[in-house]
Amino acid sequence: MKEIVRIENLSTGYGKQKVLDNISLKVYEGEKVVIMGPSGSGKSTLLKSIVKLVEPWSGKIFLNGFEVTSPNIDIRKIRQMTGFVFQNYNLFPHMTVLKNILLPLRIVKKMSKENALKQAIKVLKEVNMLEFKDKYPLQLSGGQQQRVAIARALAMNPIVLLLDEPTSALDPDLRDEVLNTLRKIANEGIAMIIVTHEVDFAIDVADRIVFMDKGRILEVGRPREIIYKTKSDMIKRYLKSIHVG
């Protein structure tokens, strides 16, 4: 299977504080990888490092064969190959839903107006948000905003979708609509790396769970092996804290 993301001995942090310590991980074409772990374990930093939204201190990252960490790489070209979904949606509030999706297609992907519009409508249909295309983000619920953010990421035709706690800012009833959207997308064969605490979702969707603690990978395995058969006290404690097991 084709390797989409390869992380080799990555260390990084903020200021002088180390957040990731010697992380290595591979993600393959179409694979769904869920990253779990307690707060402050470095999950989001790992995700951001993949597209250099956080500068790596040492180690290498490859995306579709291109070395992200190389000083000669055009990082904007790398970012265009990925779709990033943030915890707080991060839509542009001064633009309509449609414009949020059209903007990167027009100015980054340089698509024609007609093609960009076709693509935007296609992804909005996919997340069931087409009827809200003329609304502004702040006129929508959190769940709806997150679905638009997913559509915006999908519109770029990414080879991997990076999702940073896509449901943790949402109320339980809004969470399901986002998770169901993600389940639908997961069936379409795109590689996904998802930082989440949603265990049921991880069991349903993930091919592997990567469990992190204190900036290191503690365990990698199939979801049921990690959730139900782990020998790690740390993971058991974490699962207990989120009411599993």
Partner 1 sequence: MIIDLEFFVSILPYLLEGIKITLEVSLTSFIIGFIISSIITPTRIFLKIPFTLPADSYVELIRGTPVLVQLFIIYFGLPSIGIYFDPLWAGIIALGINSGAYQAEIFRSSIKSIPESQYLAAESLGMSNLQIYRYVIFPQAVRIAIPALINELVTLVKESSLVSIIGVTDLMRRGEYIVASTFKAFEVYIVVAIVYFLICYTLSFISRKIEKILKIPGYERS
Task: Name the site residues for partner 1 (rule: CB under 8 A).
Answer: 51, 53, 76-77, 79-80, 82, 84, 86, 88, 90-94, 103-104, 107-108, 135-140, 152, 156
Q: What are the distances in angstroms from CA 92 to CA 6, 27, 99?
A: 31, 30, 9
Give 14's Cβ-side CA count (13 Å radius).
8
Q: Which is nearer to partner 1, 22 or 90 (CB)?
A: 90
Q: Which is nearer to partner 1, 92 or 228 (CB)?
A: 92
User: Tell me, what amino acid is at 32?
Assistant: K
User: Tell me, what amino acid is at 95?
Assistant: M
Region of residue 195 (phi > 0: left; psi between -120 and 50: alpha; otherwise: beta): beta
Q: Which is nearer to partner 1, 88 or 112 (CB)?
A: 88
Shortest CB 221 distance to partner 1, Å: 29
Q: Which is nearer to partner 1, 61 or 218 (CB)?
A: 61
DSSP per position, 207-238: SEEEEEETTEEEEEE-HHHHHHH---HHHHHH
Shortest CB 125 distance to partner 1, Å: 21
**Cβ(101)–Cβ(155) under 8 Å?**
yes
Shortest CB 98 distance to partner 1, Å: 14
Q: Which is nearer to partner 1, 41 or 44 (CB)?
A: 44
Shortest CB 133 distance to partner 1, Å: 14
DSSP per position, 16-60: TEEEEEEEEEEEETT-EEEEE--TTSSHHHHHHHHTTSS--SEEE
Shortest CB 237 distance to partner 1, Å: 31
